[in-house]
Amino acid sequence: MSGTLYGLGVGPGDPELITLKALRVLERAPVIAYPAPETGDSLARAIAAPHIPAGRDEIVIRTPMVPGRFPAHDVYDKYADEIAGHLAAGRDVAVLCEGDPFLYGSFMYLFARLSETHPATVVPGVSSLGACAAAAGVPLVSRNQILTVLPGPLPEDELAARIEASPAVAVMKVGRHLDKIRRVVDRLGLTSTAHYVEHATMDGQRVMPLAEVNGDGAPYFSMVLIRHAEGEAGS
Amino acid sequence: MSGTLYGLGVGPGDPELITLKALRVLERAPVIAYPAPETGDSLARAIAAPHIPAGRDEIVIRTPMVPGRFPAHDVYDKYADEIAGHLAAGRDVAVLCEGDPFLYGSFMYLFARLSETHPATVVPGVSSLGACAAAAGVPLVSRNQILTVLPGPLPEDELAARIEASPAVAVMKVGRHLDKIRRVVDRLGLTSTAHYVEHATMDGQRVMPLAEVNGDGAPYFSMVLIRHAEGEAGS
């Protein structure tokens, strides 16, 4: 009997923001896997660390993090093969995912390769969207407002057009795009309604008005929240 | 010493999708509050029910649910006053919120009235966005794609323009707008890429291609997920 592939959302950073369901799966799965950069530690594993029992088989999914590029097919083919071996032997494999597995998560590449041939379950997690809004004390959207989620690497003109067209915006993956994003928000006259959040719910969380952010770079895990109609949530 | 106001995301429906943090707050707060329709039960309380200790003070925040309208100011003024009384007496108040408190949550109206004068903490929760995507087995967004979250009550032409302009779309609050949404998606030639999810992670969860949905109405808690570039996640 085949094991089950689990995509486990472990939440945005605070280990306490894992769900009971993810915890239950994590405590039972004989094999856990998680993404990591080519060298260095896995954030997903660090988030889940307090909950990982000793003595589990661990698969470190190392993928090159080249700005503006995405991992090649063969990297995920290789790890899918390795995971398929465990599943064929009847062992469940829990893949740890920062935030939510299906919101920009690399788990989807494994899911696409394995879910048609193996039992697969996705356990949704707390995403950085809600976590950043909570940290900033700023609602994402209310009533019948539109929310647009934009990746920071988008070209400047596209960012500007999309931000202008949406009453509520979350720009993710800010990183080295901070300067560009700040310029766009400024040009649109929205700086006074924009918040910056870095490492939400983690050690080193920083929250401030975008206007007060210094420097021209930010961590990958940072976000800019923009609302056109400030204060509407209070009405 | 003032008590703390907590906005607790209790997740999308499955009681196991609550976080350890929300659970910890819930187990200690002497007063819990939750939204409910004018008559009938509270969904937020039903989700959290297995975790609510006996003997807590409970505040039922009853608000009229008139389609297309939002509760009047004075309703929230009244409940904010009641909650402020508990906070002033040093009692923590945990407000239960379906999904995530700051993604279309009514908690924000209490937060706006109380957070400047009282300690307030928002505990993010698993939103229906991730839950519906997980249930459907369809990633929300990958790589540097844009995600647009649209409320179903938007006018037909605006829905059409927004869906056409975004590679990945989640239409929330489908309810009685199902027919209109189906018509729009069809007109854009996107029906074959659209999924319908109802009551994600709850008893009675239903997942199907939008093309197979019968009838002209849906529950309020239903969603339509649309991706222009089907299969891209597998590449």
pLDDT, tens only, B75-85: 899 999 999 99
Query: Does residue B118 share a domain with residue B15?
Result: yes
Indicate the residue among B123, B150, B172 that finishes a domain.
B123
CA distance B170 to B145: 13
pLDDT score recorded for residue B214: 86
Which residue, of B97, B123, B149, is where some domain finishes?
B123
pLDDT of residue B220: 83
Say if residue A177's pLDDT is above 90.
Answer: yes
For B139, nearest residue in chain A (alpha carbons): A102
d(CA A54, CA A23): 14
The reported pLDDT for the residue numbered B233 is: 41
A144 in contact with B, Cβ within 8 Å:
yes
Most confident of A126-130, A140-144, B68-72: A126-130
CA dihedral A108, A114, A117, A120 (to 10 degrees): -60
- With beta carbons under 8 A apart, name residues in chain B contacting A142: 104, 108
Spans in chain B with pLDDT lower than 70: 65-72, 229-235
Give the pLDDT confidence score for residue A230 in this predicted structure. Answer: 46
In the stretch 97-116 of chain B, residues with CB closer than 8 A to chain A read 100-105, 108-109, 111-113, 115
B19 with B118, same domain: the answer is yes
The pLDDT, as a whole number, for residue B91 is: 98
The domain that holds A66 is classified in CATH as 3.40.1010.10
Cβ contact (<8 Å) for B147 and A103? yes
Domain of residue A175, CATH code = 3.30.950.10
Residues in chain A: 235
Give residue A74's pLDDT. 84
For residue A190, pLDDT over 50 is answered with yes
Spatial distance between the Cα atoms of A25 and A119, rounded to a whole number of angstroms: 14
What is the predicted pLDDT for the residue at B16? 98
Number of domains in chain A: 2
CB pairs A-B closer than 8 Å: 188
pLDDT-derived band at A221 (thresholds 50, 70, 90) equals confident
Residues A96-114, mean pLDDT to the nearest whole number:
96
Regarding whether B114 and B135 lie in a shared domain, the answer is: no
Residue of higher predicted confidence among A92 and A66: A92
Q: Which residues, other chains included, contact B212 with Cβ-Cβ below 8 Å and sequence gap of 6+?
A: B196
Among A16, A111, A127, beta carbon nearest to B127? A127
Q: Which position has the token pair 């209490």?
A: B110
Average pLDDT on A71-94 reads: 93
pLDDT of res. A65: 66
Contacts of A173 in chain B (CB under 8 A): 144
A70 or A46, higher pLDDT: A46
Smallest Cβ–Cβ distance between A100 and the set B73, B130, B234 belongs to B130
Say yes or no: B52 and B154 in one domain.
no
Mutate to test the interface with B, among A6, A14, A17, A158 (most CBs of B within 10 A): A17
Q: Counting runs of H as helices and runs of E as strands, what totals does chain B give?
A: 7, 10
pLDDT at B224: 98
Quick one: pLDDT band at residue A68, thresholds 50, 70, 90?
low
Lowest-confidence segment of A61-75, A112-126, B208-222 by average pLDDT: A61-75
Report which of B183, B31, B176, B43 is spatially closest to residue B106, judged by C-alpha positions: B43
A136 in contact with chain B, both atoms CB, cutoff 8 A = no
Asked which of B123, B148, B165 is the last residue of a domain, the reply is: B123
DSSP state of A52: P
- Take residue A105 and report the two structure tokens written for it: 């998560």
Chain A interface, best mutation among B8, B126, B163, by max A CB count within 10 A: B126
Q: Are residues A12 and A113 in the same domain?
A: yes
CA distances from B116 to A64, A137, B112, B121 (A): 45, 10, 8, 12
Which residues pair with residue A169 across a beta bridge? A148, A226
Say yes or no: B92 and B156 in one domain.
no
Please give the DSSP secondary-structure letter assigned to residue B156: H
What pLDDT sits at residue B209? 97
Least confident of A103-112, A157-166, B69-78, B79-88: B69-78
* B11, B106: one domain: yes
Q: How far is CA B233 from CA A33, A50, A108, A116, B230, in A?
A: 19, 31, 6, 14, 8
**Segments forming the whole domain that contains residue B49:** 5-123
Enumerate the residues of chain A whose CB falls inside 8 A of the CB of residue B100: 126, 129-130, 133, 140
A12 and A60 in a common domain: yes
Contacts of B11 in chain A (CB under 8 A): 19
- Judge if A16 and A119 occupy the same domain: yes
Cα separation, A230 vs B7, whole angstroms: 20
The whole-number pLDDT of residue B55 equals 94
Q: Is residue A146 scored above 70 in pLDDT?
A: yes
**Chain A contact set for B112 (CB, 8 A):** 233-234
Q: What is the mean pLDDT of chain A?
A: 93
- How far apart CA B114 and CA B94 sit, in angstroms, is 13
Residue A14 has pLDDT above 60, yes or no: yes
Q: What pLDDT does residue A108 have?
A: 95
Q: Does B73 touch chain A (CB under 8 A)?
A: yes
Residue A23 has what DSSP assignment?
H
Residue A71: list chain B partners with CB under 8 A.
Answer: none
Residue A232 has pLDDT above 50, yes or no: no
Q: Are A103 and A132 members of one domain?
A: no
pLDDT band at A217 (very low <50, low <70, confident <90, very high): confident
pLDDT-based confidence at A136, cuts 50/70/90? very high
Q: At what angle do helices A20-28 and B20-28 cross, to 10 degrees?
A: 120
Burial class (CB in 10 A: 0-12, 13-18, 19+), B228: middle
Prediction ipTM score: 0.94
The per-residue pLDDT for A60 is: 97
What residues in A contact B139, CB-CB < 8 Å? 102, 105, 108, 111
pTM for the model stands at: 0.94
**Residue A164 corresponds to which tokens in the numbers above?**
């202008």
For A123-136, what is the mean pLDDT? 98
Chain segment B184-232, per-residue pLDDT in tens: 999 999 999 999 999 999 999 999 999 999 877 888 889 999 998 644 4
DSSP H helices in A89-197: 107-114, 128-136, 156-165, 178-187
